[in-house]
Amino acid sequence: MYCSCGRENILAKGCCAACYTLRRQDRERFGGLRESVLERDGYACRSCGASGRDKRSIIVHHRVPGKSLLHLMISLCPACHARLHRTKAVLSEMPPMLLKLWRERHPRGHEQMAFQFTSATPAAVPIPLFEA
């Protein structure tokens, strides 16, 4: 007897340990909608377009924490998901979708897209040190 993923060792309900855990987590954390979100988004990150090697390498992000509704969940790669949650201030350019999600997550966050290094006035006025 084999799991639907092809593994031979069956744990419970016709699934191997990994698939059983994913299904249990899907019901508990995503209301059974994780697979639907991944299919809708083509198993790829909606921010940068990176495709997952398998469906476990793409993360389903809740736009509203705790609300498992199809229109409030989005597929992200681990890198974009980490940038979204761990970035406290935007100091570099982000893809538009990730920036929109970041603003939802950090409504009062500081956003500075670029530093202004040029000045309208000279930084210093040359002063002769010795008389010629």
Mean pLDDT for the stretch of residues 14-32: 77
Question: What single string gives the DSSP state of each residue in the chain?
Answer: ---TTS-S---BTTB-HHHHHHHHHHHHHHTT-HHHHHHHTTTB-TTT-PBPSSGGGSEEEESSTT---GGGEEEE-HHHHHHHHH-SEE-S---HHHHHHHHHH-TT-EE--------SS-S-----SS--
pLDDT digits (tens, 9 = 90+) for 41-74: 999 999 888 887 665 688 889 888 888 888 999 9
pLDDT of residue 75: 92
Q: Give, in order, the Cα–Cα distances in Å from 72 to each of 50, 66, 108.
A: 20, 10, 21
Contact 56, 64 (CB under 8 A): no
Contacts of 97 (CB under 8 A, 6+ apart): 46, 47
pTM of the model: 0.63
